[in-house]
């Protein structure tokens, strides 16, 4: 049984696709997400002429990522959960981007879940940041965190309350049995981007909230270190 503050094993493979150097295969436990970042030399019409860029995201779970099979989202028939998650990913990635320094480029980060075992949205954010960083170096090879469009890094992790105990980085079984679950998104400098905490026929007090945040910060620090290590490695 993992310790309460232990994250699942993480594996990061940059340059996973030959067709897109800004591609990352991100594995967290049994959850596997393919994150790719694509660059366009234009911005949405409502941003044209402002001298700013834009970062957006799309998220999808492939049919074989779960059992039973998940139906594909087609055309305008995107379910509410998918829409909510891809907006979360986009907000999280934009939180650490200087859009003016990006210039009039649009980067779309696609997060495709190949296998789901809890934490797909947090894995998409954490892996999506690495793909985003690789895309930015294609635009500006000299860019580094704090010098160029990237103001900071961003990562995300889940934490939950199960039978009165706080657990970090929930897989599907833990998540489905959690009385309270929370997704925490933070920057590498330790600033919060977003908190999503919900009780399932349960409530939580201030002491439990503080313990969940404490463990989440521990997990985010570990994920940030893994992100920085991955970005130092050659593809």
Q: What DSSP string runs through 189-212? A: TS-EEEEEEEESS----HHHHHHH
**pLDDT (0 to 100) of residue 210:** 97
Please state the pTM of the whole predicted model: 0.94
Does residue 1 form part of some domain? Answer: no
Does residue 2 form part of some domain? Answer: no
Does residue 5 form part of some domain? Answer: no
Does residue 143 form part of some domain? Answer: yes
Q: How many domains does the chain have?
A: 1
Does residue 131 form part of some domain? Answer: yes
Does residue 186 form part of some domain? Answer: yes
Does residue 31 form part of some domain? Answer: yes
Domain holding 172, by residue range, is 10-232
pLDDT in tens, 31-61: 999 999 999 998 888 888 898 999 999 999 9
- What number is the average pLDDT over the span 8-33? 97
Q: Give CA–CA dist 33/36, Å, rounded.
A: 10
pLDDT in tens, 162-201: 999 999 999 999 999 999 999 999 999 999 999 999 998 8
Which CATH number does the domain housing residue 48 bear?
3.30.230.70
Q: What angle do CA 211, 212, 213 make, to 5 degrees?
A: 90
> What's the whole-number average pLDDT of the chain?
93
**Band (65; pLDDT cuts 50, 70, 90):** confident
Does residue 217 form part of some domain? Answer: yes
| Range with the largest mean pLDDT of 42-46, 65-69, 215-219 | 215-219
- What number is the average pLDDT over the span 206-227? 97
Continuous segment of H or E residues that includes residue 213: helix 206-232
């Amino acid at each position: 049984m993992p310790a309460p503050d232990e994250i699942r094993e993480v594996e990061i493979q940059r340059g996973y696709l030959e067709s897109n150097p800004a591609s990352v295969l991100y594995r967290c436990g049994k959850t596997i997400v393919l994150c790719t970042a694509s660059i366009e030399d234009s911005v949405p019409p409502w941003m044209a002429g402002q001298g700013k860029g834009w970062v957006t995201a799309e998220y999808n779970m492939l049919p074989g990522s779960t059992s039973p099979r998940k139906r594909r989202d087609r055309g305008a028939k995107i379910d509410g959960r998918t829409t909510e998650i891809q907006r979360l990913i986009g907000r999280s990635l934009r939180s650490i981007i200087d859009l003016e320094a990006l210039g009039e480029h649009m980067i779309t980060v696609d997060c495709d879940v190949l296998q789901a075992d809890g934490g797909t949205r947090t894995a998409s954010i954490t892996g999506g940041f690495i793909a985003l960083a690789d895309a930015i170096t294609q635009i500006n090879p000299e860019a580094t965190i704090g010098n160029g469009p990237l103001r900071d890094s961003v990562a995300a992790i889940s934490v939950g309350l199960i039978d009165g105990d706080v657990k970090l980085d929930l897989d599907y079984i833990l998540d489905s049995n959690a009385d309270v679950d929370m997704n925490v998104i933070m920057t590498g400098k330790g600033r919060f981007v977003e908190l999503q905490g919900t009780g399932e026929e349960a409530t939580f007090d201030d002491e439990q909230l503080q313990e969940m945040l404490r463990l989440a910060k521990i997990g985010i620090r570990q994920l940030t270190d893994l992100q920085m290590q991955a970005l130092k490695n050659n593809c």
